[in-house]
């Protein structure tokens, strides 16, 4: 069972953004804030190196309270970047202008829309 769900979208902004969704199912307020702090810390280098036109939304599932978030986030980001590249190459074949949409990626590597 996955610990995180990662959504990535291309945008017209000049800076990359990240948002976190951590519900009460993850745990009490202390646990939820701990998960958000860990995720925020892990996203700092990602945002610094990311293309400026990407927005990230990370949804923490109940398992996030007890899992290794670093490894989980790395695998989800890698999968998302691969999917964005496939989408860009597919769209460039058809010469479509807008390549932005949210992609839902579970950390197990399976994609859902």
The confidence score (pLDDT) of residue 82 equals: 83
Residue pLDDT, tens place only, 67-102: 888 888 888 888 888 888 887 777 666 554 444 554
CATH fold group of domain 4-112: Ribosomal Protein S5; domain 2 (3.30.230)
Q: Give the mean pLDDT of the chain.
A: 80
The pTM assigned to this predicted structure is 0.73
Do 99 and 11 contact (CB within 8 A), yes or no?
no
- pLDDT score at 111: 44
> What's the rounded Cα separation, in Å, for the pair 42 and 46?
7
The residues with which 18 forms a beta bridge, in sequence order, are: 56
């Amino acid at each position: 069972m996955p610990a995180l769900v990662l959504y990535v979208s291309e945008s017209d902004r000049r800076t990359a953004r990240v948002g976190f969704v951590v519900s009460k199912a993850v745990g009490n307020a202390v646990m939820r804030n701990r998960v958000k702090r860990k995720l925020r810390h892990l996203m700092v280098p990602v945002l610094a190196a990311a293309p400026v036109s990407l927005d990230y939304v990370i949804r923490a599932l109940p398992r996030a309270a007890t899992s290794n978030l670093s490894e989980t986030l790395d695998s989800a980001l890698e999968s998302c970047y691969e999917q964005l590249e496939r989408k860009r190459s597919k769209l460039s074949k058809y010469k479509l202008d807008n390549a932005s949409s949210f992609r839902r990626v579970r950390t197990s590597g399976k994609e859902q829309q």
